[in-house]
C-alpha cells in the first residue's frame, strides 16, 4: 500500500512512499481500513519540522475507518464496525496524569501521524481501547472530524463550562474556531460572535455562519474591541474562545470579556511569551483556561453531537483529495478557500468526485 510519509528528520522529507501493510501483533489490536483522514495543522508542522516526529512515519491522526481484523482479546468491537480512534497511543497508563485519566497529557504519548504510523494511507493498526463506534447516521468523512470536534467539546463544555444563554466570542475562524462556534451554539449560547481576517470573508465566515455564528467581525476592517462591546451592549462576552494563536488577538481578550467572564485558549501561539491586558483581567476577576488535546468523554459527546445536530458538519469539508496532491494542499493549508481537507484512499475517492 502507499502512504504519505515523513521519511527523515528535518524540514521537508515528506512524500508518497510504499508502506508495508500493517498487521495485528498484539491481542488487544485491531486492523482498520481507512475511509477518510483530515489534514490538521499538526501534519503541516511535522512537514516543516515544527512539531516533533519519529520518521519514517505515516502522517495523519484525524481518521475514520472500518475494522477488518481483530486480535484475540478484543470483545467490545467486531469486524465491520465503523470506528474513529483517539490519538493517544503510547501513553504509559502508570504516571500520575494517566492515573488521573488524562492520558492525552502523558509525556510518553506517541500518537498516530508523528509517533506511530497514521491515517494518510489505506490501513492502520490501533489498540481497541482508543476506539469509538461511529453512529449509523454519520458518514465516514464527517466522522473524521471527530478528533478536532472532541478537542473543542472538551475545551468549551468540559473545561470552560459553556452555559445556555452565554454570549460567546470565538477568536479566529480556522477549523477549530468554526467548530467552537458550532459547539457553543449547540450548547445553547444566545449569541456567537466569530472573528477573522479579510481572507475569512469568502469561505470561512459563510461556513461559520452556517454552523452557528450569529455575527462575524473582520479584524482587518473593524475595531474588534469596539464591535464586541457594541454587540454585547457594553457588557463584554461571557465566554471567549481563543483559537487564533495571534498575539494581537490574545492581548485584547480581557477588554472584551464581561466582569467575571471566562477565557479558554486552544490556539498555539508563534511565540511562547504572548502578553495580555493583565490588570484588566485582574479587575474583572476573569477565569482563564488552557487546553491541550481531548478527554475520553469528549469523544462520545462529539459523536453524539454529530448524530443529533440539525446542522450539516460537511460544510466544514472544502476539499476531498488524494495523497498524491499532498504538496499543493500542504503548501496552501492556510489558503482562504479551504477549511478542512479530507484525504480519501485511492479506491474510495471516486465516491466523492
Ligand atoms: Zn488534529
Ligand atoms: Zn502516563
Tens digits of residue pLDDT in 234-290? 999 999 999 999 998 899 999 999 999 999 999 888 888 999 999 999 999 999 999
Q: Per-residue pLDDT averaged across 205-216, rounded?
A: 97
Q: Is pLDDT above 70 for 99?
A: yes
Q: How confident is the model at residue 294 (pLDDT cuts 50, 70, 90)?
A: very high
Cα 282 from Cα 233, distance rounded (Å) = 22
Mean pLDDT across 156-162: 95
Alpha-carbon span 127 to 96, nearest angstrom: 21
pLDDT above 80 (res 333): no
CATH, domain range 2-133+312-352: 3.90.180.10
Q: Options 3.90.650.10, 3.40.50.720, 1.10.150.120, 2.40.30.10; which CATH number does 151-290 get?
A: 3.40.50.720
Strand duo 287-290 + 257-265: pairing: parallel
CA neighbor of 184 nearest in space, from 256, 262, 253 = 262
Ligand nearest to the CA of 108: 2
Query: Taking 70 as the threshold, does the pLDDT of residue 334 lie above it?
Result: no
Q: Which of 25, 26, 45, 121 is catalytic?
A: 45
Domain with CATH 3.40.50.720 in the chain: 151-290
pTM for the whole structure: 0.95
- State the average pLDDT over residues 38-65: 95
Whether 42 sits among the annotated catalytic residues: the reply is: yes
Q: Verify whether residue 45 is a known catalytic residue.
A: yes
Q: Which ligand is nearest to the CA of 92?
A: 2
Ramachandran sector of residue 75 (left: φ over 0; alpha: ψ -120 to 50; beta: rest):
alpha
pLDDT given for residue 353 in this prediction:
78
Instruction: Pick the ligand that lies closest to the CA of residue 103.
Output: 2
Q: How many residues belong to the chain?
A: 353
pLDDT at 338: 85
- Report the separation in Å between the CA atom of 1 and the middle of ligand 1, taken as the mean of its atom positions: 23
* Domain boundaries for CATH 3.90.180.10 within the chain: 2-133+312-352
Integer Cα distance of 177 and 342 in angstroms: 18
Q: What is the pLDDT of residue 35?
A: 98
Amino acid at each position: 500500500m502507499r502512504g504519505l510519509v515523513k521519511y527523515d528528520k528535518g524540514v521537508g522529507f515528506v512524500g508518497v512512499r510504499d508502506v508495508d501493510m500493517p498487521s495485528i501483533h498484539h491481542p488487544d489490536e485491531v486492523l482498520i481500513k481507512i475511509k477518510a483522514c483530515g489534514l490538521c495543522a499538526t501534519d503541516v508542522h511535522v512537514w516543516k519540522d515544527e512539531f516533533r516526529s519519529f520518521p519514517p512515519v505515516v502522517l495523519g491522526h484525524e481518521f475514520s475507518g472500518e475494522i477488518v481484523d481483530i486480535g484475540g482479546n478484543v470483545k467490545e468491537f467486531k469486524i465491520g464496525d465503523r470506528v474513529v480512534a483517539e490519538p493517544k497511543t503510547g501513553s504509559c497508563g502508570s504516571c500520575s496524569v494517566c492515573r488521573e485519566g488524562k492520558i492525552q497529557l502523558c509525556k510518553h504519548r506517541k500518537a498516530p501521524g508523528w509517533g506511530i504510523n497514521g491515517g494518510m494511507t489505506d490501513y492502520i493498526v490501533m489498540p481497541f481501547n482508543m476506539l469509538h463506534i461511529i453512529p449509523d447516521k454519520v458518514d465516514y468523512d464527517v466522522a473524521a472530524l471527530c478528533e478536532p470536534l472532541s478537542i473543542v467539546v472538551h475545551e468549551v463544555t468540559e473545561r470552560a463550562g459553556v452555559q445556555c444563554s452565554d454570549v460567546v466570542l470565538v477568536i479566529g475562524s480556522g477549523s477549530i474556531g468554526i467548530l467552537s462556534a458550532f459547539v457553543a451554539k449547540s450548547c445553547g449560547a444566545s449569541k456567537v460572535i466569530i472573528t477573522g481576517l479579510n481572507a475569512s470573508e469568502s469561505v470561512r465566515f459563510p461556513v461559520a455562519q452556517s454552523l452557528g455564528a450569529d455575527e462575524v467581525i473582520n479584524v482587518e476592517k473593524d475595531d474588534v474591541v469596539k464591535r464586541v462591546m457594541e454587540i454585547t451592549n457594553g457588557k463584554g462576552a461571557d465566554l471567549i474562545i481563543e483559537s487564533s494563536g495571534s498575539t494581537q488577538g490574545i492581548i485584547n481578550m480581557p477588554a472584551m470579556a464581561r466582569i467575571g467572564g471566562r477565557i479558554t485558549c486552544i490556539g498555539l501561539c508563534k511565540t511562547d511569551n504572548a502578553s495580555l491586558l493583565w490588570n484588566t483581567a485582574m479587575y474583572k476577576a476573569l477565569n482563564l483556561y488552557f487546553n491541550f488535546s481531548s478527554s475520553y468523554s469528549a469523544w462520545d459527546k462529539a459523536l453524539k453531537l454529530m448524530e443529533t445536530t440539525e446542522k450539516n458538519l460537511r460544510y466544514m469539508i472544502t476539499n476531498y483529495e488524494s495523497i498524491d496532491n499532498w504538496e499543493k494542499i500542504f503548501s496552501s493549508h492556510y489558503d482562504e478557500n479551504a477549511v478542512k481537507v479530507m484525504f480519501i484512499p485511492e479506491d474510495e475517492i471516486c465516491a466523492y468526485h
